[in-house]
Amino acid sequence: MTAVTIVWFRHDLRLDDNPAFIEACRRGSVLPVFIWAPEEEAPWEPGSASRWWLHQSLEKLSEKLAQVGCPLVIRRGPTLRALQQLVQEVHATHVVWNRRYEPAVIERDTTIKKTLSKDGLHAESFGGSLLCEPAHIATKQGNPYQVFTPFWRALLARDEPAEPIAAPRKVKPVAMKSVKTLSLDALNLLPEHDWSEVMNTSWSPGEAGGKKLLKSFLNKGLDSYDDGRNRPDQQGTSSLSPHLHFGEISPRRVWHAVREATGGKPAKSIVGSPEVYLREIGWREFANHLLYHFPHTPNEPLRKDYNRFPWVDDPVGLRAWQKGRTGFPIVDAGMQQLWRTGWMHNRVRMIVASFLVKDLRITWLEGARWFWDTLVDADLAANTLGWQWAAGCGADAAPYFRIFNPTSQQQKFDPQEEYINHWVVRDDTYPEPIVDHAEARKQALSALKQVTGK
């Protein structure tokens, strides 16, 4: 009897180098399904910008699956119930998926695997989102890493990640006559008010869009990445983060593409800008490593002493920051770029984060929540790492006393103000600075003494 396998798609919205999908195709008939159950990811349900991207990506995945004769089934949660119903409808023998590492998702997935196994199903998860499983890398003492550099060395010391596997050319679909599916529009992922107009022209969600961006970056940006990544006025980054987050392209595909572009060298032998870019893939791995081993960190500082940091309750300042009306052009440009495109240059992310937690002394959690709702690449691991880094309370964090001066950052990284002028109109209505940076810096350092006692 031929196996019937349900492939549960999540943050792996691609056919190329998709371990769960490829294994399902190898076994027999395949039923691809996406189940919308955001409440199961609380308190970090997908934000508005993420939902916009998800709609576009699911649309592209559905088209891709239709081309190979294997339509995507869309259901609503609860996920376990939806899977059990589908098992009965198609007489499935296997349910497979690629792993995720958010705390709520791990707990949910563990329950689902145990329940399906008790039901007599073969339930199996695969590693399709990272180069290395978080549980498979540790210090010599067997502990998780909390500093990036030794983590990176340990990652490089391992065997190269396996070569990516191309999408199957043939897929045997399950008979769909009795299988009902929701329309994508029924999920109501798109915002009621179309604040995403610029996003529609800025991005091409989906597997093909990710591959196109990677190819363009390898040809035009890889060799100058070390300098270009710090210049928001230039196209110096790959912009692959949302494609990686939604699994439209695999990290193995990116890793080996960089190796191929540098002559096929082992990753540990690559130097210069390509090595710097590979390190960014390493930071993504490190973020997930931390989230897996310290699941409380999306809501609490890793460094417990920061629980007593005297954050300021300042709704007016927070709103000015969110809307890009602080009177500091580089900060406001970043926040305007975020609001209009769902993305912000990484150098500017560090600047605006420093401004919120140090100039305004507003808790990093407010920043994390705002980014979560407005970033198309909102990733719980990366978002948590980035904000705790800025606040000085996380692993390998910048010390709190490292306070970015927004004016000098602007002069260094946007010297001709091309980035600022693109996003900010400095007319008669443009506000004066809402804080005195020098005075705010003194107050931030004074607040730090309540944590360190020095």
Indicate which residue of 280, 300, 405, 421 is catalytic.
280
Is-catalytic flag, 102?
no
Q: How far is CA 272 from CA 87, 230, 269, 426, in A?
A: 51, 15, 10, 38
Task: State how far the Cα of 341 lies from the Cα of 424, in Å rounded to an integer.
Answer: 14
Active site residue 387: yes
From the CA atom positions of the chain, what is the Rg in Å?
Answer: 23
The rounded distance, in Å, linking the Cα atoms of 224 and 128 is: 29
Q: How far apart are CA 143 and CA 25, in angstroms?
A: 37
Q: Is 432 a catalytic residue?
A: no
Tell me phi and psi for residue 71, to 5 degrees.
Answer: -60, 150
> Per the residue annotation, which of 346, 405, 417, 421 is the catalytic one?
346
List of E strands, 237-393: none
**Distance (Å, rounded) from C-alpha 294 to C-alpha 296?**
6
Q: Which of 203, 283, 343, 389 is catalytic?
A: 283
Is 364 among the residues known to form the active site?
A: yes
Catalytic residue, candidates 52, 53, 152, 364: 364
346 classed as catalytic:
yes
User: Is the Cβ–Cβ distance between 75 and 33 less than 8 Å?
Assistant: yes
Residue carrying structure tokens 């309370």: 393
Which residues are paired to 97 by β-bridges? 8, 125
Q: Quick check: helix, strand or coil at residue 123?
A: strand
Residue 137 is classified by DSSP as: -
Catalytic residue, from 343, 370, 387, 423: name it. 387
Residue type, 435: V
C-alpha closest to that of 279 among 207, 330, 371, 346:
346
Selecting among 311, 405, 417, 421, the annotated active-site residue is 311
C-alpha pair distances (Å), 186 with each of 6, 86, 295, 318:
22, 19, 32, 34
Residue from 165, 164, 168 nearest 68 by CA: 168
Query: What gap in Å lies between CA 220 and CA 384, rounded to an integer?
Result: 31
Residues annotated as catalytic are: 280, 283, 311, 346, 364, 387
